[in-house]
Structure formats: structure tokens, C-alpha cells
Amino acid sequence: MASAPGQPTAPGLVGTADVPVICATCAVEHAAAPAVCAICADERQWVPADGQQWITLEQLGATGRRTHVRELEPDLFGITVQPKVGIGQQALVARHRVAPAPTTHHDEEPH
């Protein structure tokens, strides 16, 4: 039984190797749907009463969710999805500016 676009899949559905799935509870991506999400298997994690559910990136996109990138401070960016997915995580990306490599002059005589 297929789920409607934008709706999590039924518990126990196994994804295919070419379509990664996302845990609808914690939003961790898996290459294919395992029986239980490794994050949600932790006793401290909440799992809905109707069990583990999976959603694809395509299904998430169909719900109108969008990625937002915001500069938090110079060279530090926060990436979120709105409306939130799972627990509403924020990824942080730091830009590292690399200094130019030292210049070697080949026309100089060695000392």
C-alpha cells in the first residue's frame, strides 16, 4: 500500500537502495528503511504509538518544506528546514578561509 504524497510511509516499509528514507520522528536519513531507526532505538527517544515511519526527500518537498540558510555570525551558517522535520535540528557550517600558499621563486639562486 503506497502512502499519499507528503505522508510518512507505513511502519515496516523497506526502502530501496536508490531512494534514501528519513525517519519521520527524528529526521535522520538512512540508505534504506531498517526495522528500527538507530536513533529512535535509544530508550531515551520517543517513538509514536503507531510505530516507526519513514518519508522520502521527494515526499518532504511535496509538503512545501524548504531549506533555509542563515548567517549566524561571520563565516558561521545555520541550516534548517521549515516547517521543521523531526525534532527541528539545525546543521552548522563553518567557512574556513585558507591563506594563499607560499610562493616559491625558481629564478633565485640557492644560498
Query: What's the pLDDT tens digit per position in 70-91?
Result: 999 999 999 999 999 888 889 9
Q: What is the pLDDT of residue 3?
A: 43
Are 26 and 87 a contacting pair, CB within 8 Å? yes
Pair 85, 31: CB distance under 8 Å = no
Give Cα separations from 7 to 1, 23, 68, 71 (angstroms).
12, 12, 22, 31
Q: Check: pTM over 0.75? Answer yes or no.
A: no
Confidence at residue 18, expressed as pLDDT on a 0 to 100 scale: 73
What is the rounded distance in angstroms from the CA atom of residue 29 to the CA atom of residue 57? 9
* Higher pLDDT, residue 2 or 91: 91
Whether residue 35 is predicted with pLDDT greater than 60 in this model: the reply is yes
C-alpha cell, 81: 528546514
Tell which wins on pLDDT, 9 or 27: 27
